[in-house]
Amino acid sequence: MELITNHLLSLILFTPTVAALVMLLLPKDKTTLLRNFALVASLIPFVLTLVVWAGFDPQPSPGVPFQFVEKAEWYSAIRSSYHLGVDGISLPMVLLTTLLTPLAILASYSIEERVKSYMILFLLLETGMLGVFLALDLLLFFVFWEVGLVPMYFLIAQWGSKNRNYAALKFVLYTMGGSLGLLLAIQLMGVAVGSFDLLELYQRWPGLNELSIPIGLPVATVKAIAFWAFVVAFAIKVPVWPFHTWLPDAHTEAPTAGSMILAGVLLKLGAYGFLRLVLPLFPAESQQYAGALALLGVAAIIFGALGAWAQNDFKRLIAYSSINHMGFVVLGIAAAAALLNTSSPVALLDKNIALNGAVLQMFNHGLSAAGMFFLVGVLYERTHTRDLNDFGGLFAVVPVYGGVLIFTAMASLGLPGLNGFISEFLVVRGAWPVMTLATALSMIGLFFTGAYILKALKMVLHGPLNARWLGHLTDMTRREMMVIAPLMILMLILGVWPAWLLDVINRAVAFLF
Amino acid sequence: MAVETLIVLIPLLPLLAFFAIVLFAHRNNALSHWLALIAAGVAWMLSMIVFRRAVQTEELSRFPFAAAIEWLPTGSAALKIGVQIDPLSAVTLFFVAWTVLMIFIYSIGYHNFGQPKGEHDRPGLPPHGAEIRDGHGHVHRVPSIEPMYARFFALISLFAFAMFLLVITDNLLTLYIGWEIMGLCSYLLIGFWYAKESARNAMIKAFLTTRVGDVFMLLGLAALYSLTGTLNYQVILNNPAVLNGLASAASPLAGVSWAGLIGILLIIGTIGKSAQFPLHIWLPDAMEGPTPVSAMIHAATMVSAGVYLVIRFFPLLSAGWDGHHLTLPMLVMGAVGAFTALFAATIALAQNDIKRVLAYSTISQLGYMIAGLGVGAYVAAAFHLVTHAFFKALLFLGSGSVIHGMEHGVFHTGENIDPQNMLYMGGLRKKMPLTFWTFLAGGLALSGFPLITAGFWSKDEILSGAYASGQTAIFWMLAAAALLTAFYTMRQITLTFLGQPRSHSAEHAHESRPVMTIPLVILAFFAITAGWVGIPEYFPAVGGLLPNWFEEFVGSMLVSHGETAHFSLLPLGVSVVVALGGLWMGWLTYRGVVRPVDPLEKPLGGIYTLLRNKYYVDEFYQWAFIRPARWLAETLTDRWLDRTIIDGALHSIAGFGVWLGKSLRRWIDLPVINGAGDLTAAGTRNLGAFLRSLQSGRVQIYATVGLGLAAMVAILIYFLWVIG
C-alpha cells in the first residue's frame, strides 16, 4: 500500500504504458476486448488523479512547492534525475489529461481497423502528455515532450482522413523544428547550471551572470537566445500566431479522438511550457518581450476567429477556434509576464487574475474543444462529410444532438453560466490594466467568436432540412452521450461554481509569481 | 423565511423548471407547461412578497435586502456575488414578475394547447393547422398544436431565470451573466421556428448585433473592476468617494475621465441590448419569433434590461454632474435616445406588419427612457420603464391575439394573405371585442392619452425633465416623437380594429380563448393604473390627490438629487397636444381605408419608400461592415495570410529542404560518395592487379619496395618526432 501511495504520480504516468505493453499480448481480432481493456486501463490514471486531488493541499509553501514528489537517480553522469511532482498549475492539467483520454478512447469505439495498434498508440500518447505535466527535470520534460509526438504522428497518418499524410508530416516536422532549439537550450542550461533539475534551475539560472562554458558570447545574449528557443518551441505548440498553420491541418485530418486530444491536451503543453519554464526561468526576458507576446496573442485571437469564420469545413472551423481561444491564454500569460517583478498590491492582483484566467482557460478550452471535436466526429461518422453546406436543418432530425451541440458551442463561445466565460473574463480583467490596447483589440476576436460559432450552428442545425439526410440520420447513441455528458456537466459546474478549481490555481499562481 | 432566501429562490425556480422540462418532460406537453407555470407562479408570488416587504421597509435604498457569497478566488481575496433588493430592483421585479407570468399563461393558448396535431407539422416550422371532422362529417381546418411545445416552455423558463437573476443581483458581473443568458434565449426563441430562412437569419442578426454592445460592455466591466476592485453596486454607486475618484481620474482617452469612459462602454452595451441607433437593426427582425417571445423578451423585459443597466449606473454616468452641464455619458444618452426615439417612430409610420410597428415603437420608447436619463430625469426614466413594460407587453400580446384571429380566418377561407399585415385587417373590434378594448387601452397608454393612461404620466415626466434641463433640442425631438407615436398607434388601431374588414379572413376572424384574453385584461389594468402611483404633486387639478409614491420610493436611490424639475405648463401642454393631435390625425387619415393600400403611400412618395425600407440602414451595414468583414475573414485571413503567406513560406522552407536533399544527392552523393565507392572498388581491383605484379618473386623489386617503405616511415617519424 505504501508503495502505491508513495508513487502515485509514477503510477498515473506509467499505467498507460504498462497497459499498452499488455495489449501487445492480446489477440488483435478481439476488438471489443481491446477497446474495453484500453478504456479500463485509461480510467485507472483518472481515478488515481482523483486520489491525488483529494490528498492535495492547495496551499503551497516555500518548503513544499510541489507535492507527491518522487525523485530517483536517472542519468547521474549528467545530473539529470527522474523527478516528478505536481502543483496547482500542473494538477489541473493532469486531471484534464486523465479525464479526456478515457473519453477519447470511448469515442474511438467506432474505429474498426487495426484497433490494437490504435489503442496502444493512444495509451502511449497519454504517458507522453502526462510526463510533460509531471516532470520536474528539464531533460525528463523534453523526453516526454518528444514521446508524445510519435504516437500522435501515427494516429494522424494511419487513421486520419484524406489529406492525412501532409497533415501528419507538417505536424511532426513543425513541432520537431521547434524542439531542436528547445533541446539545445535545455542542454545549454543544464551544462551551465550543472543540473537539469527544475527546482535547482529555478534557483540558479535566472540570477546566473557567468557561464561555465566558453561560448564567447555575453550571458545576456545567451539567455536571450535560450529564451527565444523556448518561446518558439512552445509558441508552435500553443500555437501562437503566426506559427499556427499546422493546427488546422492536423486537427482536421486527425481521427475524432485524436483531434479531441490534440485540442484538449496537446496545445496545453505549449501554454504549460510558458508557465512552468519560460516565466520562472526567464523573468527578465519575459518582461522585456511581454508586449510582443501580447500582440501575438491578440493576433491569434483575432485572426483565429476570422479564420474560423471563413471556413466551410466544420472540423476546420473548430480547429481554428482553438487558435482563437488559446490566444486568451497567451494574452493572460503576456500580461502576467509584464508584471513579473511588480510589488504593488494592485499590480500583483492584476497579475494573479490574469494567470488565474490563463490556466483556467487552458482547462476550459480542453473541455469545450474536445467536446466540439467529438460532436463534429459524431456527425461525420453518420454523414461522411464535413462540409457545412451539406448540412442544414438537422435540428429537426437529431434534436438531442442539436441540444448538445448548442450547449457545447455556447461553452466554446464563452456564454456566461458556462465555463469559458469565467476564464475569458478573468484574462480580460487581468490584462486590461497592463495591456489596455491589446485587451481592447481582443474584443474584435471575441465578437467574431460569436460569428463563427453561430455560423456553424446555423449551417448545421437551422434552416430548411437538407432532404438528403431525412431518414438517414440517427440521434446520439448511449455511448456517445457517455462521452459528452461528463464534459457538459463539467462545463456547467465550472461556469456556475468555478471556485473548487480556481482556488487551487489561484494559490499556486499567487505562490509562484 | 429570511427575505434573502426568498429572493434567491425567485430565479432558481424557473431554472429548475428549465432543467426538469429538458431532462424529463420534453415529451409531455401538459407536464412541461405546468412545470413552467408553477415555477413562474411561485416566482411571481415570492416577488410580490419581496416587493411588499421592500415597500414597507424604511430607508431601503441605504440598507437594501442583501446577501453575498465569495465566488471567484482572486489573489488573497475573492470576488463576491449576491442578491440585493433596493427600490429600483423592487419596482423592476414587480413588473417583470407580472409580465412574465401573464406571458407564460398566454403562451398556452398561443401555442394551441389542446388542439390536434397537424398532419404536416414539423419541428422548426410554425404549425400549419390540422383537419378535423365534426359530427356531421364536415371537414374543418383548425389551428394545430405547436410541435415543439415543451421546448418553448423550457426556453422561456430559462429566460425567466436570467431576467430574474439580472434584477435581483447586487453586482455588475452577475447582471452581465443574466444579460448574456437572456441573449442566448432571445437567439434561440427568435429562431424558434429555425427551419424558416428568415428566422435563422434574424436569430444570428440579433445575437451578433447585441454582441457588438456586449464586448464593449465587457471592457467596461474590466475597467470598473480594475479601478475599484469590485463590481458591487452599493460599494461603487452609493459611495461618493469612489464616484468622485472615477470622475476626476483621467482615462487613456484624451479629455475623458474614467467615469466617462466606463459610462460610455456600458452605454454601448445598452445601445445593443435596448436596440438603440445605430444597433437597432436586430429588434424588428426579431419579430420572427413567436409573439409571446416578442412580448416578453423584445418588449417588456430583456430590452428593458438595457435601460435598467443605465438607470442602475446613473450615479456613475452622472458622476461630476452639477445639475447644469451634462456629463459626457449623459450627453451621449440624451443624443442617442432622442434621436432613436424620433428615428424609430418615423419608420413605424410606414410598416404594415402589426408586430413590426410595435417593434419600432419599442425602439422609440426605449430611446425615450434613455433620453430622459440623459437629461437627468432619473425617476421619470424608471417610471416609463415600468409603465412601458406593461402596456407594450399588452400590445404585443394583443397583436398576437389578432394574428391568431386572422390565422383562424385564413384557415377558414384558405386565402393567401399575410395574417400579420394590417392592411388586410379592419373591423376586428366586433369580432374580437376583448382584444380590441385591451389593445385600445395599451395603444392609448403608448400614445400618452392624457390623465387616464399610465403612459401619459411617465412620458409627461420625461418631457418636463427634458424641458427643465434646458436641452431644448432633446425636448423638441421627444415631443415630435410623441406626436408620431400617437399617430402611428392610431393608424394601427384604426387599420386593425375600426372600419370594415378588408379581407375574407378578417371577416371570419374570431376572439381568442380566455387563456389568452385574461392576461390581456390584467395587463390592461396596469396599463391604465400603473401611472397613478407617480402623479406629480404640482400637476394641476389632480396633483396631490394620490401621493407621488414612485418618485419618493425610487428617487431615494440617488445619493444627491439632481435639480428637481420646476413645474412648467409648456411641456405639459405640449404633451397633451401631441398625444391628442397625433391620435386625431391618425384617425382622420386611416378611418376611410377600404382597399389594402396605405393612403400615405402616394402623397409621401419617396419619403414613404425611404421609411418603408427603414432608411436602408440594413443595406448600408451590409455594404459597410458585413462585406468587408467577410473579406477580412475569407480573403485576407484565410486565403492570403494563412494559405498564401504563412503556408507559402512553410512550403518554400520544406521545398528548400527537399531541393537541398536532392542537390546533395546529385552533386555530392552521386559523384563524390557513390563515385568514391565505385572508385574504391575499382581502385582495390587495380591495386590488387598492381600488387600482384609486385609479387613477381623478383628480389630486386622486393628490395625496392622495402626501401621505399622504409623511406616513407623514416620521413613520417621525422615529421612526427622532430617537427611535431
Cα B115 to chain centroid distance, Å, stands at: 33
d(CA B234, CA B245): 15
User: Which residue in B has a C-alpha nearest to residue A312's C-alpha?
Assistant: B634
Q: Do B184 and A410 touch (CB under 8 A)?
A: yes
Q: What is the pLDDT of residue B690?
A: 67
Residue (of B56, B54, B79) closest to B65 by Cα position: B54
Which of A163, A348, A355, A429 is the mutation pick for testing B, counting most B CBs within 10 A? A429
Q: Say yes or no: B74 contacts chain A, CB-CB below 8 A.
A: yes
Q: Do A245 and B642 touch (CB under 8 A)?
A: yes
pLDDT in tens, B337-391: 999 999 999 999 999 999 999 999 999 999 999 999 999 889 999 999 999 999 9
CB A238 within 8 A of CB A334: no
Q: Say yes or no: B67 contacts chain A, CB-CB below 8 A.
A: no
User: Which residue in B has a C-alpha nearest to residue A406's C-alpha?
Assistant: B188
Q: Do A450 and B207 touch (CB under 8 A)?
A: yes
Report B:123-162 residues touching A (Cβ under 8 A). Answer: 123-124
Task: Flag whether pLDDT at A336 surpasses 60.
Answer: yes
Q: CA–CA distance from B31 to each of B137, B154, B324, B513 (Å)?
A: 33, 11, 57, 20
Q: What is the pLDDT of residue B77?
A: 87
d(CA A232, CA A325): 19
Burial B535-567 (b: 16+ CB within 10 A, else e): bbeebeeeeeeeebebbebbbbbbeeebeebee
Task: Flag whether pLDDT at B723 surpasses 60.
Answer: no
Chain B residues within 8 A of A312 when measuring between CB atoms: none
d(CA B618, CA A416): 29
Which of A432, A475, A501, A502 is the mutation pick for testing B, counting most B CBs within 10 A? A432
d(CA A402, CA A389): 17
Q: What is the pLDDT of residue A486?
A: 96
Task: Flag whether pLDDT at B694 surpasses 70.
Answer: no
Task: Flag whether pLDDT at B469 surpasses 90.
Answer: no
Q: Do A428 and B218 touch (CB under 8 A)?
A: yes
Among A192-196, A257-261, A352-356, B683-687, the minimum mean pLDDT is found in B683-687
Overall number of domains in chain B: 2
Q: pLDDT-derived band of residue B675, with 50, 70 and 90 as boundaries?
A: confident
Say which DSSP state B723 is in: I
pLDDT in tens, A192-231: 888 899 999 998 898 888 777 777 788 888 889 999 999 9
Q: pLDDT-derived band of residue B136, with 50, 70 and 90 as boundaries?
A: confident
CB A367 within 8 A of CB A487: yes
For residue A48, how many other CB atoms are within 10 A of its CB?
19
pLDDT in tens, A288-305: 999 999 999 999 999 999
pLDDT in tens, A35-61: 999 999 999 999 999 999 999 999 999
**β-bridge mates for residue A137, sequence order:** A197
Q: CA–CA distance from A208 to each of A111, A211, A277, A286, A347 (Å)?
A: 52, 8, 16, 16, 27
Angle, helix B172-190 to helix B149-168, in steps of 10 degrees: 160
Report B:580-639 residues touching A (Cβ under 8 A). Answer: 629-630, 632-634, 636-638
**Residue B84, helix vs strand vs coil:** strand
Q: What is the mean pLDDT of residues B598-610?
A: 89
Q: Which residue in A245, A416, A464 is closest to B177 by CB distance?
A: A416
Question: Shortest Cα distance from A83 to chain B (angstroms)?
Answer: 29
Q: What is the pLDDT of residue B547?
A: 84
Question: Shortest Cα distance from B226 to chain A (angstroms)?
Answer: 7
Q: pLDDT-derived band of residue B721, with 50, 70 and 90 as boundaries?
A: low
pLDDT in tens, A340-380: 988 899 999 999 999 999 999 999 999 999 999 999 999 99
Count of all residues that appear for chain B in the document: 724
Residue B116 lies in a domain: no
Q: Do B200 and A463 touch (CB under 8 A)?
A: yes
pLDDT in tens, A115-173: 999 999 999 999 999 999 999 999 999 999 999 889 999 999 999 988 899 999 999 88
User: Which residue in A has a C-alpha nearest to residue B222's C-alpha?
Assistant: A429
Q: What is the pLDDT of residue B497?
A: 93
Task: Flag whether pLDDT at B677 surpasses 80.
Answer: no
Q: Do B637 and A306 touch (CB under 8 A)?
A: yes
Q: What is the pLDDT of residue A398?
A: 92
Task: Flag whether pLDDT at B561 surpasses 60.
Answer: no
Chain B residues within 8 A of A461 when measuring between CB atoms: 194
Q: Do B637 and A303 touch (CB under 8 A)?
A: yes
Q: Say yes or no: B197 contacts chain A, CB-CB below 8 A.
A: yes
Question: Shortest Cα distance from A510 to chain B (angstroms)?
Answer: 6
Q: What is the mean pLDDT of residues B314-327?
A: 86
Question: Shortest Cα distance from A16 to chain B (angstroms)?
Answer: 35
Q: Which residue in A433, A462, A507 is closest to B200 by CB distance?
A: A462
pLDDT in tens, B22-59: 999 888 999 999 999 999 999 999 999 999 999 998 88
Query: Read out DSSP for A127-188?
Result: HHHHHHHHB-BHHHHHHHHHHTHHHHHHHHHHH--TTHHHHHHHHHHHHHHHHHHHHHHHHH
In this prediction the ipTM stands at 0.95
Q: What is the pLDDT of residue B693?
A: 63
Domain boundary among B132, B166, B190: B190
Q: What is the pTM of this model?
A: 0.92
Q: Say yes or no: B658 contacts chain A, CB-CB below 8 A.
A: no
Q: What is the pLDDT of residue B696?
A: 61
d(CA A101, CA A122): 8
CB B256 within 8 A of CB B238: no
Q: What is the pLDDT of residue B447?
A: 93
Q: What is the pLDDT of residue B510?
A: 87
Residue B352 lies in a domain: no
Question: Shortest Cα distance from B561 to chain A (angstroms)?
Answer: 33
Chain B residues within 8 A of A432 when measuring between CB atoms: 219, 222-223, 226
Q: What is the pLDDT of residue A142?
A: 94
Among A277-286, A446-455, B612-621, B702-711, the minimum mean pLDDT is found in B702-711
Q: Do B204 and A352 touch (CB under 8 A)?
A: no
Domain boundary among B173, B190, B207: B190
Question: Shortest Cα distance from B309 to chain A (angstroms)?
Answer: 17
3-state helix, strand, coil in chain B (%, to 5): 70, 5, 25
Residue corresponding to grid cell 389593445: B439
Q: Do B211 and A450 touch (CB under 8 A)?
A: yes
Average predicted confidence (pLDDT) for chain B: 89
Q: What is the pLDDT of residue B626?
A: 92
Query: Read out DSSP for B596-610?
Result: SS-TTHHHHTHHHHH
**β-bridge mates for residue A91, sequence order:** none
Residue (of B550, B553, B557) closest to B531 by Cα position: B550
Q: Which domain holds residue B154?
A: 1-111+146-190
